[in-house]
Amino acid sequence: MEAAVRMTRPAEPEMPQHRSLDPAFAIAPAHLWLRPLALLSGEAARAARAENRALPLAGGTSAFVMVELLGRLASGEVVAALGSLAELRQWAERRGGATAARVASQLEHLTAPRAPWAGFALDRPLIMGIVNTTPDSFSDGGEFLAPERAIAHGRALAVAGADILDVGGESTRPGATPVAPEEELRRVEPVVRALAGAGLVVSIDTRRARIMVAALAAGARIINDVSGLAGDPESLAVAARSGAAIALMHMQGEPATMQANPTYSLASLDVVEYLEARVAACAAAGIARSRLVVDPGIGFGKHAAHNLEIMARLGLMHALGCGVLLGISRKSLIAELHKAEPKERIPGSLAGALQALAQGVQVLRVHDVAETRQAIATWRAVADGA
């Protein structure tokens, strides 16, 4: 019994020392980022906004009163400062020029309502249910390898409350080896076709342009790419032509080796800068920002301390002006904190999901749909009544 509840404490990441938000504080504008802090909900948010002390987070009902200003010096050192919105505006006005323009742009991205994505208004949390048609996924490998079982599982997740069904035919767990494209296609195509044919919203979880094309032809409406449309030279063009909604994820390295030695200056900042570059690459290919959500990629080339720091700063992702997707369901981060097998990690998965919702995340990718739906309903009722 003692071993079953043994807790571990991941090593602390290097954290920037917060400085004063005064005229001497300077960051190159291109490397300046704002993270919303002091988040409010319910009546507190409405009152603070009426008094002009707070701004809405991503156009939703939550509001933020303070910001953390993050960035890099020319040396590469990560620096940070904390301040109220009034202090931020005063600082930006004193700095002027490109700095003031960057702050204004960041505040616009943080506050603007998100456009509908994949046909869904992002004014409530969406649940993306996981349908793995693989023999080796970390949690349910082999359970839904047969197409008829995967189809039945997808239908059950939809009944339980999944808005989207994310079908994948290649495991990207740490240490996984690539699957031949022909095998990946054999696994996913009949499942996508059946679920989409039943009128369900299907996402294809793949890094390959060939699989994207086939899945979209079979009825998929979303491309969910763990490589951020960078894993296949044809992916950007395929995504642009398709008109599909897209989830761009951050991954450092490849699944087979990504956990060997991941390194970051500050994980959340490195991730948001990578995703900014991918959003820009999409724009250059003709993909509008409104078609995108971004995913920081918990567990993909990140140790536990990196994952926890990213989770603490999830609000930073809103500065990209896109919806935010998070997948923490049953992941090894939970076992790092409380030893448990994948299917025993539902409480930790829900805790991570609620922490993400409190920071404005709009899409949750999960195994346990019914449990997540109940948790969201309770969280929303409490938050709205505060």
Catalytic positions are 331, 365
Provide the greatest CA pair distance for the chain: 64
- Between CA 24 and CA 53 the distance in angstroms is 25
From CA 100, how far away is CA 103, in angstroms rounded? Answer: 5
What is the Cα–Cα distance from 249 to 232, expressed in whole angstroms? 14
In the DSSP assignment, the letter for residue 298 is T
Kindly state the helix (H) or strand (E) to which residue 326 belongs, with its residue range.
Answer: strand 323-326
Q: Token pair 């609620």 is at which residue?
A: 354
- Contact between 225 and 235 under an 8 Å Cβ cutoff? The reply is yes
Name the β-bridge partners of 83: 67
Cα 324 from chain centre: 5
DSSP, residue by residue, 269-290: HHHHHHHHHHHHHHHHTT--GG
d(CA 194, CA 133): 14
Rg (CA), the chain: 21
In single-letter form, the type of residue at position 189 comes to: E
Instruction: Return d(Cα 183, Cα 177) in angstroms, integer.
Output: 13
SS3 (DSSP) at 151: helix
> Cβ of 249: how many Cβ atoms within 10 Å?
27
